[in-house]
Amino acid sequence: MGERLGQHFLTNPHYAEILAREAGITESDTVLEIGPGEGMLTRELLKHAAKVVAVERDEALVAKLHEIFPTEIKSGKLQIVSDDVRNFNPRTSGLVPSAYILAANIPYYITGELLRKFLEADAQPRTIAFLMQKEVAQRILSEKESILSISVKAYGKPRIAAKVSKGNFNPPPKVDSAILVVENISKNNFSDLNEENFFEVVRAGFASKRKMLANNLSTRFGKEKISMTFSTLALDPKTRAENLALQQWLTLARMIYS
Protein backbone atom coordinates (compact mmCIF):
# COMPACT_ATOMS: atom_id res chain seq x y z
CA MET A 1 0.00 0.00 0.00
CA GLY A 2 2.67 2.49 1.08
CA GLU A 3 4.91 1.73 -1.86
CA ARG A 4 2.07 2.31 -4.29
CA LEU A 5 1.91 5.92 -3.06
CA GLY A 6 5.68 6.23 -3.06
CA GLN A 7 5.97 5.83 0.71
CA HIS A 8 8.72 3.94 2.48
CA PHE A 9 7.75 3.58 6.13
CA LEU A 10 10.39 4.40 8.73
CA THR A 11 11.01 1.37 10.96
CA ASN A 12 13.76 2.72 13.24
CA PRO A 13 12.40 4.98 16.05
CA HIS A 14 15.91 6.39 16.60
CA TYR A 15 15.59 8.53 13.46
CA ALA A 16 12.07 9.65 14.38
CA GLU A 17 13.59 10.92 17.66
CA ILE A 18 16.38 12.74 15.82
CA LEU A 19 13.94 14.40 13.43
CA ALA A 20 11.65 15.59 16.26
CA ARG A 21 14.62 16.90 18.25
CA GLU A 22 16.34 18.63 15.31
CA ALA A 23 13.05 20.28 14.28
CA GLY A 24 13.18 22.12 17.63
CA ILE A 25 9.62 21.17 18.63
CA THR A 26 8.49 22.51 22.01
CA GLU A 27 5.46 21.57 24.11
CA SER A 28 3.60 24.67 22.93
CA ASP A 29 4.07 23.88 19.21
CA THR A 30 1.62 22.62 16.63
CA VAL A 31 3.23 20.20 14.17
CA LEU A 32 1.90 19.47 10.70
CA GLU A 33 2.88 15.97 9.60
CA ILE A 34 2.59 14.84 6.01
CA GLY A 35 1.96 11.17 5.24
CA PRO A 36 2.08 9.68 8.76
CA GLY A 37 1.75 6.17 7.32
CA GLU A 38 1.73 3.74 10.24
CA GLY A 39 2.56 6.40 12.83
CA MET A 40 6.25 5.81 13.63
CA LEU A 41 7.11 9.52 13.39
CA THR A 42 3.65 10.60 14.64
CA ARG A 43 4.28 8.82 17.96
CA GLU A 44 7.51 10.75 18.47
CA LEU A 45 6.00 14.09 17.45
CA LEU A 46 3.16 13.60 19.97
CA LYS A 47 5.75 13.30 22.77
CA HIS A 48 7.11 16.78 22.00
CA ALA A 49 4.27 18.89 20.59
CA ALA A 50 1.08 20.43 21.94
CA LYS A 51 -0.81 19.19 18.88
CA VAL A 52 -0.12 17.17 15.72
CA VAL A 53 -2.17 17.64 12.54
CA ALA A 54 -1.45 14.62 10.31
CA VAL A 55 -2.46 14.66 6.63
CA GLU A 56 -2.82 11.18 5.09
CA ARG A 57 -4.40 10.43 1.73
CA ASP A 58 -4.49 6.61 1.97
CA GLU A 59 -7.86 5.75 3.51
CA ALA A 60 -6.69 2.34 4.74
CA LEU A 61 -3.87 4.08 6.67
CA VAL A 62 -6.28 6.71 8.01
CA ALA A 63 -8.38 3.87 9.49
CA LYS A 64 -5.24 2.25 10.91
CA LEU A 65 -4.12 5.53 12.55
CA HIS A 66 -7.53 5.78 14.25
CA GLU A 67 -6.90 2.31 15.71
CA ILE A 68 -3.33 3.12 16.82
CA PHE A 69 -4.03 6.54 18.42
CA PRO A 70 -7.64 6.50 19.73
CA THR A 71 -6.82 8.36 22.97
CA GLU A 72 -4.75 11.08 21.29
CA ILE A 73 -7.45 11.63 18.65
CA LYS A 74 -10.23 11.76 21.26
CA SER A 75 -8.32 14.31 23.36
CA GLY A 76 -7.70 16.51 20.30
CA LYS A 77 -3.93 16.21 20.61
CA LEU A 78 -3.87 14.41 17.26
CA GLN A 79 -6.00 15.46 14.32
CA ILE A 80 -6.06 13.18 11.27
CA VAL A 81 -6.92 14.90 7.99
CA SER A 82 -7.87 12.48 5.22
CA ASP A 83 -6.61 14.32 2.13
CA ASP A 84 -3.80 14.66 -0.38
CA VAL A 85 -1.41 17.25 1.07
CA ARG A 86 -1.27 18.93 -2.32
CA ASN A 87 -4.88 20.04 -1.74
CA PHE A 88 -4.17 21.10 1.86
CA ASN A 89 -4.23 24.80 2.75
CA PRO A 90 -2.36 25.57 6.00
CA ARG A 91 -4.17 28.85 6.64
CA THR A 92 -7.72 27.54 6.16
CA SER A 93 -6.78 24.59 8.38
CA GLY A 94 -6.08 27.01 11.24
CA LEU A 95 -2.28 26.96 11.06
CA VAL A 96 -0.77 30.33 11.95
CA PRO A 97 2.13 31.65 9.84
CA SER A 98 5.54 31.01 11.47
CA ALA A 99 3.82 29.36 14.45
CA TYR A 100 3.88 25.72 13.34
CA ILE A 101 6.51 23.18 12.35
CA LEU A 102 6.27 20.94 9.29
CA ALA A 103 7.67 17.43 9.78
CA ALA A 104 7.50 14.45 7.44
CA ASN A 105 8.97 11.31 5.99
CA ILE A 106 8.01 12.25 2.46
CA PRO A 107 7.55 10.31 -0.78
CA TYR A 108 10.64 11.19 -2.83
CA TYR A 109 8.77 12.08 -5.99
CA ILE A 110 6.99 15.10 -4.44
CA THR A 111 9.95 16.52 -2.46
CA GLY A 112 10.46 19.62 -4.63
CA GLU A 113 6.73 20.23 -4.92
CA LEU A 114 6.20 20.11 -1.13
CA LEU A 115 9.17 22.36 -0.37
CA ARG A 116 7.85 24.90 -2.88
CA LYS A 117 4.27 24.67 -1.63
CA PHE A 118 5.11 25.37 2.02
CA LEU A 119 8.01 27.79 1.53
CA GLU A 120 5.92 29.94 -0.80
CA ALA A 121 2.71 29.63 1.27
CA ASP A 122 1.05 32.62 2.92
CA ALA A 123 1.13 30.60 6.12
CA GLN A 124 4.76 29.43 6.10
CA PRO A 125 5.95 27.02 8.80
CA ARG A 126 8.66 28.26 11.19
CA THR A 127 10.79 25.19 10.48
CA ILE A 128 10.63 22.28 8.04
CA ALA A 129 12.15 18.89 8.92
CA PHE A 130 11.95 16.36 6.08
CA LEU A 131 13.25 12.82 5.89
CA MET A 132 14.10 12.74 2.19
CA GLN A 133 16.42 11.39 -0.49
CA LYS A 134 20.01 12.06 0.62
CA GLU A 135 21.19 13.09 -2.84
CA VAL A 136 18.46 15.77 -3.09
CA ALA A 137 19.26 17.09 0.40
CA GLN A 138 22.93 17.35 -0.59
CA ARG A 139 21.98 19.17 -3.79
CA ILE A 140 20.03 21.75 -1.73
CA LEU A 141 23.12 22.42 0.38
CA SER A 142 25.57 22.38 -2.51
CA GLU A 143 27.58 25.49 -3.39
CA LYS A 144 26.94 24.51 -6.99
CA GLU A 145 23.51 26.11 -7.13
CA SER A 146 20.35 24.86 -8.85
CA ILE A 147 16.79 26.17 -9.08
CA LEU A 148 15.93 23.89 -6.13
CA SER A 149 18.81 25.05 -3.89
CA ILE A 150 18.17 28.74 -4.59
CA SER A 151 14.42 28.21 -4.02
CA VAL A 152 15.06 26.78 -0.54
CA LYS A 153 17.84 29.19 0.49
CA ALA A 154 15.71 32.18 -0.54
CA TYR A 155 13.29 31.37 2.29
CA GLY A 156 15.35 29.75 5.04
CA LYS A 157 18.58 28.19 6.24
CA PRO A 158 18.92 24.51 5.28
CA ARG A 159 21.15 21.93 6.99
CA ILE A 160 21.46 18.15 7.04
CA ALA A 161 20.80 16.85 10.56
CA ALA A 162 21.44 13.14 9.92
CA LYS A 163 21.98 10.58 7.19
CA VAL A 164 19.69 7.55 7.22
CA SER A 165 20.58 4.35 5.37
CA LYS A 166 17.96 2.52 3.31
CA GLY A 167 17.76 -0.41 5.76
CA ASN A 168 15.76 1.75 8.19
CA PHE A 169 12.65 1.66 5.99
CA ASN A 170 10.00 -0.80 4.88
CA PRO A 171 9.97 -1.41 2.00
CA PRO A 172 13.63 -0.33 1.70
CA PRO A 173 14.09 2.40 -0.92
CA LYS A 174 16.80 2.05 -3.56
CA VAL A 175 18.77 5.02 -2.17
CA ASP A 176 19.82 6.41 1.22
CA SER A 177 17.98 9.24 2.95
CA ALA A 178 18.82 12.28 5.05
CA ILE A 179 17.01 14.52 7.50
CA LEU A 180 16.95 18.02 6.02
CA VAL A 181 16.05 20.85 8.40
CA VAL A 182 15.17 24.30 7.03
CA GLU A 183 15.16 26.91 9.81
CA ASN A 184 14.39 30.65 10.19
CA ILE A 185 11.83 30.47 7.39
CA SER A 186 10.52 33.87 6.29
CA LYS A 187 9.85 36.07 3.27
CA ASN A 188 12.34 38.74 4.42
CA ASN A 189 14.24 38.55 1.13
CA PHE A 190 11.08 39.66 -0.66
CA SER A 191 10.29 42.80 1.32
CA ASP A 192 11.49 44.90 -1.63
CA LEU A 193 11.38 42.30 -4.41
CA ASN A 194 8.42 40.51 -5.95
CA GLU A 195 8.72 36.72 -5.42
CA GLU A 196 7.43 35.91 -8.90
CA ASN A 197 9.90 38.32 -10.51
CA PHE A 198 12.77 36.77 -8.56
CA PHE A 199 11.91 33.24 -9.66
CA GLU A 200 11.41 34.37 -13.23
CA VAL A 201 15.02 35.61 -13.21
CA VAL A 202 16.24 32.35 -11.61
CA ARG A 203 14.35 30.14 -14.07
CA ALA A 204 15.59 32.23 -17.02
CA GLY A 205 19.16 32.00 -15.68
CA PHE A 206 19.04 28.21 -15.53
CA ALA A 207 17.09 27.82 -18.81
CA SER A 208 19.98 26.26 -20.72
CA LYS A 209 22.72 24.59 -18.68
CA ARG A 210 25.20 24.77 -21.54
CA LYS A 211 24.87 28.52 -21.97
CA MET A 212 26.45 31.23 -19.87
CA LEU A 213 24.18 33.08 -17.46
CA ALA A 214 24.29 36.37 -19.39
CA ASN A 215 23.15 34.64 -22.59
CA ASN A 216 20.28 32.86 -20.82
CA LEU A 217 19.09 36.10 -19.22
CA SER A 218 19.49 38.10 -22.46
CA THR A 219 17.06 35.75 -24.20
CA ARG A 220 14.38 36.71 -21.67
CA PHE A 221 15.25 40.30 -20.66
CA GLY A 222 17.16 41.68 -23.63
CA LYS A 223 20.89 41.85 -24.33
CA GLU A 224 21.32 45.56 -23.59
CA LYS A 225 19.67 45.41 -20.17
CA ILE A 226 21.66 42.33 -19.09
CA SER A 227 24.96 43.70 -20.40
CA MET A 228 24.42 46.92 -18.42
CA THR A 229 23.34 45.01 -15.28
CA PHE A 230 26.39 42.71 -15.37
CA SER A 231 28.66 45.71 -15.88
CA THR A 232 27.11 47.61 -12.91
CA LEU A 233 27.42 44.56 -10.65
CA ALA A 234 30.94 43.75 -11.92
CA LEU A 235 29.79 40.23 -12.84
CA ASP A 236 31.90 38.17 -15.22
CA PRO A 237 29.84 37.79 -18.46
CA LYS A 238 31.18 34.21 -18.71
CA THR A 239 29.80 33.15 -15.31
CA ARG A 240 27.28 30.29 -15.17
CA ALA A 241 24.02 30.18 -13.23
CA GLU A 242 25.29 27.49 -10.84
CA ASN A 243 28.16 29.73 -9.68
CA LEU A 244 25.97 32.59 -8.47
CA ALA A 245 25.14 32.61 -4.73
CA LEU A 246 21.72 33.57 -3.35
CA GLN A 247 22.59 37.19 -2.50
CA GLN A 248 23.91 37.73 -6.03
CA TRP A 249 20.67 36.34 -7.48
CA LEU A 250 18.66 38.70 -5.27
CA THR A 251 20.74 41.72 -6.29
CA LEU A 252 20.54 40.72 -9.95
CA ALA A 253 16.74 40.33 -9.82
CA ARG A 254 16.29 43.68 -8.03
CA MET A 255 18.37 45.41 -10.68
CA ILE A 256 16.66 43.73 -13.64
CA TYR A 257 13.26 44.77 -12.28
CA SER A 258 14.27 48.23 -11.04
pLDDT digits (tens, 9 = 90+) for 30-50: 999 999 999 999 999 999 999
Q: What angle do CA 182, 90, 201 make, to 5 degrees?
A: 55
Rg for the chain (alpha carbons), in Å? 20
Q: Cα(43)–Cα(148) distance, rounded to whole angstroms?
A: 31
- 146: amino acid identity, one letter: S
Mean pLDDT (the chain, rounded): 95
| Residues of the chain scoring pLDDT < 50 | 1-4
Pair 102, 80: CB distance under 8 Å: no
Pair 163, 146: CB distance under 8 Å: no
Per-residue pLDDT tens for 131-155?
Answer: 999 999 999 999 999 999 999 999 9
Taking the model in full, what pTM does it have? 0.94
Sign for the pseudo-dihedral over CA of 234, 204, 190, 98: negative
Contacts of the segment 57-61: beta carbons below 8 A, 24+ positions apart:
57/5, 57/82, 57/83, 57/84, 57/85, 58/1, 58/2, 58/5, 60/1, 61/1, 61/2, 61/36, 61/37
DSSP 96: P
Q: What is the pLDDT of residue 7?
A: 75
Nearest to 135 by CA among 102, 116, 112, 151: 112
Q: What is the pLDDT of residue 1?
A: 34
Pair 129, 179: CB distance under 8 Å: yes
Domains in the chain, CATH or no CATH each: 9-186 (3.40.50.150), 195-256 (1.10.8.100)
Nearest to 120 by CA among 90, 143, 100, 144: 90
